[in-house]
Structure 1
């Protein structure tokens, strides 16, 4: 299925896992949302990981070929991190896992982020706040919000709560935040509804 025929799916309750879900089989046919540079920028924008100002800079300063190359790097990063997740989901991370995160730390070291004092958007008692900003000097900087999201997943999420959707052939992943850790589907509107329909047909046959 062409990714242009289907909007990206954000059901993981985690930007890092949403990135892994940027290639998925939500129905029957695999969909790749970052197949090229423009697809990567579009996915980052819809994921809320890339501000509009950065989109303008990257589109004006990078060639399509350069952006396509970065999209390829993003896909490689995605598959490497999927292997990291698959090997560890269902158990808490420990200090022993740090050595396998060297590729992610190398990428994070190239970040050009900084903090600035800015005015708040609301009318609360504090009028100023610190805001994290980032320089977008090179096409590779488009990888930095992804790297940050993956790092936050590693450091802030309990890997025992990461699950695969139980839908037939569905490859989507999510963090189960339900109180009883009973979530089974990527979405009730996608796989949950199909499972209900299949169960209903089975009951009718019997």
Structure 2
């Protein structure tokens, strides 16, 4: 990784889109946040998709080049799925789109996931939360059999995206060079930018310069 590289973006309001945004043009140059195995571990940690102890275990136990190979598979998954999003965003996904997702289902079929009873977050002293429901909860767990299992939470995030989100509100930033995607969860559904502090501010500055140029021409 390079110290000059900006931190990855988590502005999409969905982990599946954040994964697609792991390559982007935040300023003028395309940036790849999954260029290596260590990059992948760092990104998964920031995304909160894999427990720290799992990432640390693979960092210690993986064979030379093994994590780099998994990162390459993650990039291939991302680059394969992104055109699907661009094709379907702006409208509801129809059932016949399932045919296009066969490779994703094949990857998901590798998952070795199970569930367990665990303590609910912040139970009170009597073992019940304030709403009166049980202090125990059903939680999903996964057996992390090999470094390739790091692909499974990524695949799951993409599956969740297509199964639970209305693609009518999946948008691309309107910045001229920006490639970031997001879900518009604003009440008016009027979000246009990945971030008002980045592309939104650039658009305001560009509009201001244009108005100033027009004013100068009119004053001549």
Range into which the TM-score falls when normalised by the shorter chain: over 0.9
Displacement of 1:61 after TM fit? 2.1
CA contact under 8 A between 1:37 and 1:68: conserved in structure 2? yes
Deviations 1:5-34 (A, max 9, x none): 211111111100000000000111000000
Q: How does 1:33-48 map to 2 (within 5 A)?
A: 33-48=33-48
TM-score scaled to structure 1, two decimals? Answer: 0.96
CA contact under 8 A between 1:58 and 1:136: conserved in structure 2? no
Moved over 3 A (4+): 1-4
- What is residue 26 of structure 2 aligned with on the other side? 26
Q: What number of residue pairs does the alignment pair up?
A: 206
- What is residue 11 of structure 1 aligned with on the other side? 11
5+ long unaligned stretches in structure 1: none
Q: Are 2:160 and 1:152 aligned?
A: yes
Displacement of 1:60 after TM fit? 2.0
| Rg (Cα) greater in structure | 2
CA contact under 8 A between 1:116 and 1:132: conserved in structure 2? yes
TM-score scaled to structure 2, two decimals? Answer: 0.90
Distance 1:154 1:187 in 2: 23
Q: How does 1:118-129 map to 2 (within 5 A)?
A: 118-123=118-123, 124=129, 125=132, 126-129=134-137
Once superposed, what is the RMSD of the aligned Cα atoms? 1.4
Distance 1:169 1:65, change over 3 A: same
Give secondary structure in 2 for the equivalent of 1:5: coil
